Amino acid sequence: MEEIIVRDGFVQTEREGQIFDEGPLAPDEYFYRLARRIADLEGKELSAEEPQIKVGLPDGSRFTATIPPMSRRGTAINIRRFALKRMTFEDLMERGSVDEEAVEFLKEVAASMDVSVVFSGRPGAGKTTWLNAFSGYLPERAQVSCIETFQELQLQVPHVHHLVVEENPRVMGEAINTTILRMRPDVLVIGEVVSREAVEYIMALNLGIVTHTTIHAKGARLALTRLESLSRESDIPWEERREIIGSCLGLVVHLAKEYDEKTGKYRRFMSELLAIKGIRNGEYDTEVLKAWDGEKFTPLKAGREIWRGR
């Protein structure tokens, strides 16, 4: 089970990308009290003045709740389950999410510690799953620092410096800044870029630190413009931010989630592997190395020559 969804007392579950109706299992008042109780246990307020919370549960699951008056039709709850088993690239290949050629390429990228990678996609597309799988091929000798607001990453590195910080842009930004300057990581992994921590992310890129992260975006190129937008609070001019992203970020792995009418299930897969080659005439110079054409994955282009030359 991947997610539990509650809307006004009606419960649904998501399993293997498919939504199942479990029915009205309890009155809305029950789920309202449940949300309040979880908020109390975590030392957070859930009230009409503070009608929304997001907390980590003891088993690692992510609990999000919204109550009236913000939620107009009763209590709304989403519980994103924590995966006990880290999915590997081999698991993703078995599911048809990627082919062997792309996997071997990404393994080489991870092992090189030369290229910063962004995993992009809509919510639920599998960005964290892919970052977990990718991290399994970082060298054991690597000094890796990982920062996230909820512990979802399971990095398979012997001496990882793993921080779980308060979901606050300022706190996250300070944690990234301190880690960059004081912990001397070879590789920095940021669980997700969602706010002004994008400023520190760009700073890490500019300092030459290999940095991997995830971001919500509709497309691979749109992930680049979203990074620009999220970092707009920086004192760095827009043109310079674009130059840093174009010069220092190597790859975007864009992930898709589409409904398959044949199976009646949602399918998650790599839809595009995009190389960023730099800036040309003020715009990102990119090349699609591999993509899903609707029926199959296209052959890999000469990506190694692109990223090895960066």
Residues 172 and 209 in one domain: yes
Which residues touch 127 (CB under 8 Å, ≥6 apart)?
119, 120, 121, 192, 214, 215, 255
In this prediction, residue 60 carries a pLDDT of 77
Residues 72 and 105 in one domain: no
Residues 147 and 274 in one domain: yes
Q: Taking the chain (310 residues) in consecutive chunks of 10 residues, what is each chunk's mean pLDDT? A: 92 85 93 94 90 86 93 93 82 95 96 96 92 93 88 83 79 79 88 86 91 96 94 86 95 93 84 96 95 92 56
Contact 215, 237 (CB under 8 A): no
In this prediction, residue 309 carries a pLDDT of 42
Among the candidates 80, 106, 141, a domain finishes at 80
Full-model pTM: 0.86
Residues 74 and 103 in one domain: no
Residues 72 and 93 in one domain: no
Residues 141 and 122 in one domain: yes
Residues spanned by the domain of 51: 3-80
Among the candidates 51, 80, 109, a domain finishes at 80
Residues 30 and 117 in one domain: no
Q: Which of 89, 128, 136 is nearest to 111 (CA)?
A: 136
Tally of domains within the chain: 2
Residues 110 and 238 in one domain: yes
Residues 24 and 107 in one domain: no
In this prediction, residue 306 carries a pLDDT of 55
Among the candidates 80, 102, 121, a domain finishes at 80
